[in-house]
């Protein structure tokens, strides 16, 4: 294993145990069996390595969600299953829980809101593709699909800019918004 990989592995383990705030660079380098100075050959800061760890962890968990949700089910049931799975797999994960914590959450949100972050976010791309295909299968015109996907973009925007600290009950409110949005689209 090369040194950068060793640092990433060690960082993932330490962040998973202690969380972002309680982890320091020496914790990571000690776990990786290297000197603190070596860390800076690969990363400029704790924030930079955390971002790499977070992106990898988020991808791993979201891949599990993509595999476990029945995407062909009733649209409203899909939304419920998606939110339940997200709560089940994301909430207890100390790394992913940092999304809602001051200090690092803005860095994460900024990353995922940028075009580059959206492009590498396989879960986001999967949702766009799956939702668009479902709308096509339901017979929606390209114009209507474009209009509906703008609302998806708005929901993504909200998710990138609002936290539970700023809006109490945010997660439940977002689920309700998405559920009723989907219900309205697919009710005939």
Give the pLDDT score at 188. 63
The tokens for 15 are: 């962040």
Query: Hey, where are the domains in the chain?
Result: 1-44, 52-186
**CATH code for 1-44?**
1.10.10.60
Give the pLDDT score at 179. 95
| Average pLDDT, consecutive stretches of 10 residues, N- to C-terminus, the chain (188 residues) | 94 97 97 96 97 97 96 94 94 92 90 93 96 96 96 93 86 94 88
Q: Residues 42-72, buried b or exposed e (16+ Cβ, 10 A)? A: bbeebeebbbbbbbebbeebbeebbeebeee
| Inter-residue contact 48 to 92 (CB < 8 Å) | no
Q: Is 142 exposed, middle or buried (0-12, 13-18, 19+ CB in 10 A)?
A: exposed
Closest by CA to 48, choosing from 18, 28, 34, is: 28
Give the pLDDT score at 1. 74
Structural domain 52-186, CATH architecture: Orthogonal Bundle (1.10)
- HSE (CB half, 13 Å, CA atoms) of 160? 19
Distance (Å, whole) CA 91 – CA 73: 24
| Inter-residue contact 153 to 147 (CB < 8 Å) | no
Give the pLDDT score at 11. 98
Give the pLDDT score at 187. 86
Q: Do domains 1-44 and 52-186 have the same CATH topology?
A: no
Q: What is the DSSP string of 155-172?
A: HHHHHHH--TTTSTTHHH
Rounded (10°) angle between helices 170-186 and 142-161: 180
Give the pLDDT score at 101. 87
| Inter-residue contact 155 to 181 (CB < 8 Å) | yes
């Amino acid at each position: 294993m090369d040194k950068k990989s060793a640092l990433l592995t060690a960082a993932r383990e330490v962040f998973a145990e202690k969380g972002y705030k309680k982890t320091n660079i020496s914790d990571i380098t000690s776990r990786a069996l290297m000197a603190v100075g070596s860390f800076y050959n690969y990363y400029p800061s704790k924030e930079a390595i955390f971002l790499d760890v977070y992106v990898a962890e988020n991808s791993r968990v979201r891949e599990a969600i993509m595999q476990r949700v029945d995407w062909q089910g009733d649209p409203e049931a899909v939304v419920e299953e998606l939110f339940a799975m997200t709560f089940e797999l994301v909430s207890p994960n100390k790394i992913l829980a940092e999304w809602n914590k001051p200090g690092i959450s803005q860095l994460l949100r900024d990353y995922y809101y940028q075009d580059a972050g959206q492009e590498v976010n396989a879960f986001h791309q999967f949702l766009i593709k799956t939702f668009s295909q479902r709308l096509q299968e339901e017979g929606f015109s390209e114009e209507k699909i474009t209009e509906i996907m703008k609302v998806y973009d708005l929901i993504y925007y909200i998710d990138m800019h609002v936290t539970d600290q700023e809006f109490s009950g945010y997660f439940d409110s977002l689920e309700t918004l998405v559920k009723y949005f989907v219900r309205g689209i697919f009710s005939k």
